[in-house]
Chain A
Amino acid sequence: AQTVTQSQPEMSVQEAETVTLSCTYDTSESDYYLFWYKQPPSRQMILVIRQEAYKQQNATENRFSVNFQKAAKSFSLKISDSQLGDAAMYFCAYGNGANSKLTFGKGITLSVRP
């Protein structure tokens, strides 16, 4: 069974600084995809970024980028120029196949200091 591990329960970053959130996963599949979701206090789950395992290039969405290390089964999220609105819980998720079913990590709470 696939597992997703987010070992850091909490992190803090100074506004305008850069922070990296870690995620590792375990799978025997070669073709899969990975996501980061953001959950602010409003509770809404918001897609931040996605990465397909067959792509060597790391995905980037504005201030958000990933460091995808397939051999190490690592998928970290880097947030540049952190803003107060980035404060939220962040979930790493794994999926494969055509059914869109995702396995989520336990999440990490990110706080941003003004």
Chain B
Amino acid sequence: DAGVIQSPRHEVTEMGQEVTLRCKPISGHNSLFWYRQTMMRGLELLIYFNNNVPIDDSGMPEDRFSAKMPNASFSTLKIQPSEPRDSAVYFCASSRQLFNSPLHFGNGTRLTVT
């Protein structure tokens, strides 16, 4: 079990640029979550998918954020255009769609927008 794999681990970009974060969930997990962690707001759920279908995107801050899951083994979170306030650690997590199934997190991507 390779765990949830996120890339890149660090991303530094300039304001206005497009940023794409990538995630490979654990094989066999059919739920995928994107969280954002900041000092001020803690861990916030941005969006989650069940069986590749977006179920709840109410946490996505604004239209600059978009997420896709084209297949069971890959998801992206895109920010276009990026702004300094988007600087945070972005986590991807996956789980089995079962009651009390824990989330398994990737190592996160630390995004810095200058």
Neighbouring A residues of B55 by C-beta, 8 Å: 99
Q: Which residue of A lies closest to B56 (CB)?
A: A101
Neighbouring B residues of A71 by C-beta, 8 Å: none
Say yes or no: A43 contacts B48, CB within 8 Å: no
Say yes or no: B99 contacts A98, CB within 8 Å: yes
A45-B97 in contact given A104-B43, A105-B42 (Cβ < 8 Å): no
* Mask: chain A, 13-57; 1 = CB below 8 Å from B; 0 = not: 000000000000000000001010100001111010010100000
Shortest beta-carbon distance from B53 to chain A in Å: 12
For the complex, is A102 an interface residue (Cβ under 8 Å from B)? yes
Say yes or no: B97 contacts A100, CB within 8 Å: yes
Shortest beta-carbon distance from A96 to chain B in Å: 8
Interface of B is mostly: strand
A44-B103 in contact given A99-B97, A100-B95 (Cβ < 8 Å): no
Within 8 A of B (CB), among A75-101: 91, 95, 97-101
For the complex, is B69 an interface residue (Cβ under 8 Å from A)? no
Other-chain contact of A33, B96, B97, B99 (Cβ < 8 Å): B99
What size tier do the contact residues of chain A reach? 20 to 34
Neighbouring B residues of A98 by C-beta, 8 Å: 97-99
Q: Which residue of B lies closest to A42 (CB)?
A: B107
**B interface residues with partner A (beta carbon < 8 Å):** 31, 33, 35, 42-43, 45, 48, 50, 55-56, 89, 91, 93, 95-105, 107-108, 110
